[in-house]
Chain A
Amino acid sequence: MNNLVFLPVLLPLLTGIILIFFSKYIKIQRFLSLVSSSLGIILSCLLIGKVHDQGILALQVGSWEAPFGISIVADMLSSLLVLTTNIIGFAVLIYSFYSIGTGREKFYYYSFVQFLLVGVNGAFLTGDIFNLFVFFEVMLMSSYVLLVLGGTKAQLRESLKYILVNVISSALFVISVAYLYSVVGTLNMADISRRIAESGQPGIITVIAVSFLIVFGLKGAIFPLFYWLPGSYYAPPIPVIALFGALLTKVGVYAILRTFTLLFYHDQQYTHELLGILAIFTIIVGTIGAVGYWDIKKIIIYNIVIAVGMITFGISLMNEQGLSGAIYYTIHDMIIKAALFLLVGIMAMITGTSDLRKMGGLIQAYPYAAWTFFIAAISLAGIPPFSGFAGKLLLLEGAVEGEAYVGFAVILISSLLMLYSVMKIFINGFWGKPRAYKDADLVPVSRLAVPAALLVIVSIALGLGTEAIYPYISQAMEPLIDPAIYINAVLKE
């Protein structure tokens, strides 16, 4: 019995509920959500410590034993992702204080941020496939509201598309779960895995695996299913984009990682090769987008697509280096994407536009923000002392071991073009002749830069402390290679 496992979900839920009562008192809302998200960081650190000492923790909710009740399972992977989520939530909250505006704050903004965190943390921690669906919906419902809150024209148009795509993919999720349930007769992921292993994954299970791939691919934006992402992530205000870009697609990727290592790993010839091909196309499409645009938000948005491709490529390799590379890269990318969106948001706010050709010379007036952006940019590309390096190196090692040389080349070339795309922002936005911007004095740049710098510091620590973090990553990777560890921890055999 480990109630600690569920507390990262319960805490934001209670906070979100209490914040509804204080919808008109902005100071109380800010204070409470700040306290709650700092508590969340502490709780998830405790969780990581406990998982490190005792191995995988499973909580049988309501005292009903494993295949019959709902299991909440914290392995190292989930715990690390929960910690990352909480850190990002904390930084985005501080950024929101100075940028979101009282109109949104009075309309339950902070409650919905907390509910989004409930959904994301829950999706990472659950051990039950239908529960995963429910937490997906909690997350998506809050994201619908955060996307449309404010009601500008672009937001309304994009939220229609976003909701349409996600309603369809959620329906497909339910259908896939129904198929899976009618074949194996259980919903607990450990139990499903055991039963699929007993039957040796017949053809119908592979079909279900591909339909799950379509569902999670729609949520996580992999190659033919990413089309909704660039528009939808362009519309909302910056802190909301940072939350979406860092968390939402990664939950889809996590679900692919979980299902393809725990449930559908018997017919890798078909499923994992398909995943590998889609991943490579995802990287290519993302790179084309990132290089092609002159809009700072669009460039970072297409960098999300690249990262999703990189991580799914790591999953498709199914060897130790590939998977630990995917885990490391996921954590790095969540943090650095949030930081980049926050920094790009500062640029857009100062200049009043997100068109790169209409800005320049920002480094003169805002040197700290500029150098923070520079570090974030080279960290994204994977320059050695920073956090993007280790993950990419592991992915490349995995590609060599899995003899996936096309993927190897695509990752290297796309890294170069990723660097080009963010350096384009740096060179054109920060260097050059300073221009006069109308409302630049109204933007509290020094305050807004603090949360972004915080995330960049976390990312630097992640890069410099790779040695210290690696044991955790490899502990997270073990149950992915050997599902028996996970199954035994949940079903207690």
Chain B
Amino acid sequence: MKTNDIILQTVAKVASLVIILFSIYIFFGGHYSPGGGFVGGLLASGAIVLLLLAYDLKTVANMLPVDYKLVVAAGLLISSATVSGALFFDAPLMTHAYQYFELPLLGHTSLHTAVLFDLGVYLVVIGITMTIIQTIGESE
């Protein structure tokens, strides 16, 4: 008889959504509180790993049809583009800038280019973790 893991699958669906939300929260809170791109990325890949445990590699690959190696490359590209952006403003490389904006809903908010760098880190961490886990999982 086939084992039935409907409870695991239902819980995993809900829980992974909550974990991803939490990882986004951690990611954006990184400037003022513990957290940032690295932990955020690890949490997000943790959510995907939970889905991998509840389902199998193929189903998850159908749910999230991404090539994680390209995610790594995109993350690196975002980070290094942020770093080299200073070239166009006649400033030393890796010089970051910030500005306050009046945003709808959020109000008086400071936006900092370091977030873009962190976004790169976030993507690289997700990409690397998922590439490692998928590659090991697929090889016989």
Contact = CB atoms under 8 A, between A and B. Distances in A.
Interface stretch (A32-40, A58-66, A335-343, A465-473): A58-66
Interface stretch (A11-19, A119-127, A226-234, A302-310): A11-19
A14 B95 contact: no
Contact of A59 (B70, B72, B90, B93): B93
Interface string A13-53: 11001101101000000000000000000000000000000
Main secondary structure of the interface of B (DSSP, over half): helix
Interface string B59-87: 00000000001101100110010011011
A115 to B, nearest CB: 10
Contact of B95 (A20, A21, A63): A63
B92 A61 contact: yes
A14 B73 contact: no
Given A3-B86, A3-B87, A10-B84, A17 B94 contact: no
Contacts, number: 44
A223 interface: no
Given A3-B86, A20-B69, A13 B94 contact: no
A318 to B, nearest CB: 34
Size category, B interface: 10 to 19
Nearest to B81: A14
A365 interface: no
B91 interface: yes
Nearest to A62: B94
B73 A63 contact: no
A63 B95 CA distance: 6
Residue among B80, B83, B93, B95 with max Cβ neighbours from chain A (10 Å): B93
A442 interface: no
Contacts of B76: 17, 20
B73 A17 contact: yes
B73 A21 contact: yes
A359 B92 CA distance: 56
Contacts of A3: 86-87, 92-93
A23 B94 CA distance: 28
Interface of B: 69-70, 72-73, 76-77, 80, 83-84, 86-87, 90-96
Interface of A: 1, 3, 6, 10, 13-14, 17-18, 20-21, 23, 59-63
